[in-house]
């Protein structure tokens, strides 16, 4: 008989959720709640799926640069290093974390639409593989800094391809109203390429484009690649420049709720590879090395947040509120984006989920974490599990209401290890004067 599973995690005979072979209730007891738990085996498998999908489908070289913004700690940087992926960082803090984990500089891509002088200097000093440049002004600033340091900066230019994708649809427009990248239509992108080629301390290797996040419609990638190549064709005819590297950003969607069916990584790799193969053939453009920057689709579904249920409040009119010991500060996504998640009572997984309620957090706001969900009948002391919280939860956490941020652990083969210590009340005073 097959063991029961829920969202890809197994459920023990005692009805308890297990993550990485560890009993979720015991994890909550040992490490306290709220707690970010990562299934390390699943995380590593996601990394391998990406590498494998592009190795099988794309006939030239490919690099998978994990987008650190989704979730980065020293342990995560080390895991990404071990899995042979590259790393996309977008701030001094993410770069510093990578450097502290001795992440190879030759596999780091540095983003950011407002890189400071300090960030550029740090990136050049460490020798990051590529800096992704967001505007001509930034290009000139980088050239100046590189010249001062006696270095040549290796860069991509980020262009705005005129495609904006949202989960199930995309829009195609020549005039995107966005702060990111350099517009093609207005001629600014071509001008920036020409400047980059002329600047002494700049080495322009390729072009970068990113069309959004939580994307389900693979056609939007196809359209983006077509728009990028229309630009590359123009660049080639006006400057003779042919690029050997192209970076198509991240954005592949994941499953947050039962109704969602995101495309597989293999399908994503197939669409990108097929489109590139066709276009490069049609335009007689040599197949470039490609880079993709997945964040969410590597880490989100490998993460589960555990809370303790403290109160179950029935309000006149019949609605029930289940109050947990976390909220806005460890997961701001419901408040920010109206994000929905799958939730369950981790110690009652074999009971029917027929208790309608809204799960709320402990903050001085409405703090509705999970609205109108059905869970197993909750009681004080039960452990609540929230699925697909691996991406943009820890990385977007705050100390609102001066709550210390939760701990994070990795679980694999029945063993759990702490990767981020829970903040203490003392930690909250560390920077106060």
Interface residues with ligand LLP (CB under 6 A) are 67, 69-70, 88, 111, 210, 213, 249-252, 293-297, 333, 337, 392
364 a catalytic residue = yes
Quick one: angle between helices 40-57 and 74-82, nearest 10? 40
Nearer to ligand LLP, 229 or 256 (CB): 256
Q: How many C-beta neighbours within 10 Å does residue 102 have?
A: 11
CB of 64 to ligand LLP, least distance (A): 11
Q: Least distance in Å: CB of 337 to ligand LLP?
A: 6
**Smallest distance, ligand LLP to C-beta of residue 209, A:** 9
Q: What kind and span of H or E run contains 22?
A: strand 22-23
Report CA 309 to chain centroid distance, whole Å.
Answer: 28
CB 369, min distance to ligand LLP, A:
14
What gap in Å lies between CA 241 and CA 236, rounded to an integer? Answer: 5
* Of residues 85, 86, 131, the one with CA closest to residue 111: 131
For residue 157, what are the β-bridge partners? Answer: 133, 207
Tell me whether residue 292 or residue 359 sits nearer to ligand LLP (CB atom). Answer: 292
CB of 391 to ligand LLP, least distance (A): 6
**Of 182 and 383, CB closest to ligand LLP:** 182
- Which residue, 261, 294, 227, 281, is CA-closest to 54? 294
- CB-wise, 213 or 305, nearer to ligand LLP? 213
Tokens of 291: 């880079």
Catalytic residue, chosen from 22, 47, 357, 364, is: 364
In terms of CB distance, is 249 or 361 closer to ligand LLP?
Answer: 249
Tokens matching residue 186: 């207005």
Cα atoms in the 13 Å half-sphere on the side-chain side of 253: 19
Q: Are 371 and 257 in contact (CB under 8 A)?
A: no
Distance CA 126, CA 121 (A): 9
For ligand LLP, the closer CB: 254 or 383: 254
**Of 250 and 326, which CB lies nearer to ligand LLP in the complex structure?**
250
User: Shortest approach of ligand LLP to residue 132 CB, angstroms?
Assistant: 7
Contact (CB, 8 A) for 349 and 17: yes
Distance, CA of 129 to CA of 309 (rounded, Å):
46
Q: How many residues does the chain have?
A: 433
Residues 134, 113 contacting (CB under 8 angstroms): yes
Query: Least distance in Å: CB of 110 to ligand LLP?
Result: 11
Residue 339 or residue 344: which is nearer to ligand LLP going by CB?
Answer: 339
Minimum Å gap between C-beta 299 and ligand LLP is 8
Rounded to whole angstroms, the Cα distance separating 215 from 163 reads: 12
Q: How many other C-beta atoms are found inside a 10 Å radius of the C-beta of residue 202? A: 22
Question: In whole angstroms, what is the distance from residue 62 CA to residue 60 CA?
Answer: 7
Place of tokens 């590359």: 232
- E strand intervals along 116-264: 130-133, 153-160, 163-166, 169-172, 182-183, 202-208, 245-247
Give all strands (DSSP E) within 168-227, no chain letters: 169-172, 182-183, 202-208
Q: Mind telling me the catalytic residues?
A: 364
């Amino acid at each position: 008989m097959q063991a029961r599973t829920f969202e890809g995690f197994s459920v023990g005979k005692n009805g308890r959720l297990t993550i990485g072979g560890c009993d979720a209730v015991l994890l909550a007891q040992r490490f306290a709640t709220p707690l970010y738990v990562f299934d390390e085996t699943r995380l590593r498998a996601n990394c391998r799926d990406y590498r494998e999908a592009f190795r099988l489908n794309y006939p030239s070289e490919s690099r998978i640069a994990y987008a650190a913004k989704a979730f980065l700690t020293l342990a995560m940087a080390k895991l990404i290093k071990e899995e042979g992926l590259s790393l996309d960082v977008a701030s001094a803090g993410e770069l510093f974390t990578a450097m502290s984990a001795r992440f190879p500089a030759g596999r780091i891509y540095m983003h950011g639409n407002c890189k400071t002088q300090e960030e550029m200097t740090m990136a050049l000093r460490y020798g990051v593989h590529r800096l992704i440049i967001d505007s001509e002004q930034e290009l000139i600033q980088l050239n100046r800094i590189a010249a001062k340091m006696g270095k040549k900066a290796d860069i991509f230019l980020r262009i705005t391809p005129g495609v904006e994708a949202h989960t199930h649809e995309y829009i195609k427009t020549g005039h995107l109203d966005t702060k990111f990248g350099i517009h093609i239509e207005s001629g600014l992108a071509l001008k920036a390429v020409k400047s980059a080629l002329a600047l002494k301390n700049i080495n322009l290797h390729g072009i970068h484009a990113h069309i959004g996040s939580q994307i389900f419609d693979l056609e939007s990638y196809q359209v983006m690649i077509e728009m990028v190549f229309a630009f590359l064709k123009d660049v080639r005819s006006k400057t003779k420049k042919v690029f050997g590297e192209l970076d198509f950003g991240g954005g592949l969607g994941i499953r947050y709720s039962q109704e969602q069916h995101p495309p597989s990584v293999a399908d994503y790799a197939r669409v990108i590879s097929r489109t590139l193969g066709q276009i490069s053939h049609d335009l007689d453009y040599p197949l470039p090395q490609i880079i993709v920057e997945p964040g969410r689709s590597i880490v989100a579904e490998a993460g589960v947040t555990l809370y303790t249920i403290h109160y179950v409040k029935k309000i006149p009119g019949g609605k029930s509120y289940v109050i947990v010991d976390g909220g806005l500060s460890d997961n701001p996504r419901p408040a920010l984006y109206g994000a929905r998640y799958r939730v369950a009572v981790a110690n009652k997984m074999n009971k029917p989920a027929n208790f309608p309620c809204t799960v709320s957090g402990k903050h001085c706001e409405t703090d509705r974490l999970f609205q109108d969900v059905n869970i197993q009948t909750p009681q004080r002391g039960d452990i609540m599990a929230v699925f697909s919280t691996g991406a943009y939860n820890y990385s977007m956490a705050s100390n609102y209401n001066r709550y210390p941020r939760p701990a994070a652990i990795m679980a694999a083969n029945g063993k759990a290890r702490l990767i981020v210590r829970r903040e203490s009340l003392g930690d909250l005073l560390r920077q106060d004067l």
